[in-house]
Amino acid sequence: MNNNLTHLHPYPFAKMATLLENSSPALDYTEIKLGIGEPKHAPPAFVLDVLQENLDTLARYPTTSGMFELRQTIAHWLEKRFFLQHVNPNSQVLPVMGSREAIFSFVQAVINHDGNNDEPTVVMPNPFYQIYEGAAILAEATPHFVPCTPANNFKGSYRSVPKEVWTRTQLLFVCNPNNPTGSVMTMDDWEYLIRLSDQHDFIIASDECYSELYFDEAPIGLLQACAALGRDNFKNCVVFHSLSKRS
């Protein structure tokens, strides 16, 4: 058993349930559900039809990389949405069952205890998606929190992170658009972080689960910023997307 499990915190909804367990709801008001990540609407009929037509495929285990047709569709969507020249569906796209599980596994794979870095660090915004912290702790890395405040437009002041922290950093998490603040990264923000990544050789993991929720102008994603800088190989950059939020 990983002893670092004792350092993990309960999820916010679990904390809320504990706080409210002895309270009585006000019967005059309608309950407002905050768990909006799970789609509640009826699935479109054509989706159910396709599922029924392909039930025979449930008789075998899926491959880790998934169907080529799915990866190709994802690659084409990324190219269209983020103005990319080419995304390789075989080497640059990997379907997952959920972004939380993918983020956790990614952190375990990325953090390296090779003896040259006795305190590998994961930089993340605060407030944050709790899996960032939990995955870092279980990988025996040190979380470094960048506060998102009104003074920095709720994006986090990455320019205020001390240089000695960046020298230990192996992974940087960015949430864009940010949850829960709603702030978005500009091209200048991305370029600054990409240059830092080049300088200190850390990976940027951009959590873009909310990329399709916006009022007018679509947020600039990490891959889009890379392409604008001529970095079509997306060196040290990985992006996580999710279907559940946009559904």
CATH number of domain containing 145: 3.40.640.10
- The identity of residue 46, as a single letter, is F
Is 164 within the bounds of a domain? yes
> In the chain, what is the straight-line distance between the N-terminal and C-terminal CA atoms, in Å?
37
Indicate the number of domains in the chain: 1
Is 39 within the bounds of a domain? no
Is 188 within the bounds of a domain? yes
Q: Residue 203 sits in which domain range? A: 96-246
Is 70 within the bounds of a domain? no
Task: Report the predicted TM-score, pTM, of the whole model to 2 decimal places.
Answer: 0.87
The mean pLDDT value for 49-65 works out to 89
Is 12 within the bounds of a domain? no
The CB-based long-range contact list for 130-133 (8 Å cut-off, 24+ gap) reads 130/9, 130/11, 130/12, 131/100, 131/103, 131/104, 132/103, 132/107, 132/173, 133/9
pLDDT tier for residue 117 given thresholds of 50, 70 and 90: low
Least Cα distance to 240 among 119, 104, 88, 114 occurs for 104
Q: Which phi and psi (to 5°) does residue 100 adopt?
A: -60, -45
Is 231 within the bounds of a domain? yes
pLDDT (0 to 100) of residue 104: 95
Is 112 within the bounds of a domain? yes
pLDDT (0 to 100) of residue 13: 74
Contact between residue 99 and residue 246 where contact means Cβ atoms under 8 Å apart: no
Say what percent of the chain tops pLDDT 90.
Answer: 64
Mean pLDDT over the full length of the chain: 90
The mean pLDDT value for 170-178 works out to 96
pLDDT tier for residue 244 given thresholds of 50, 70 and 90: confident
Is 24 within the bounds of a domain? no
Q: Is the bond preceding 180 in cis, omega lying within 30 degrees of 0?
A: yes
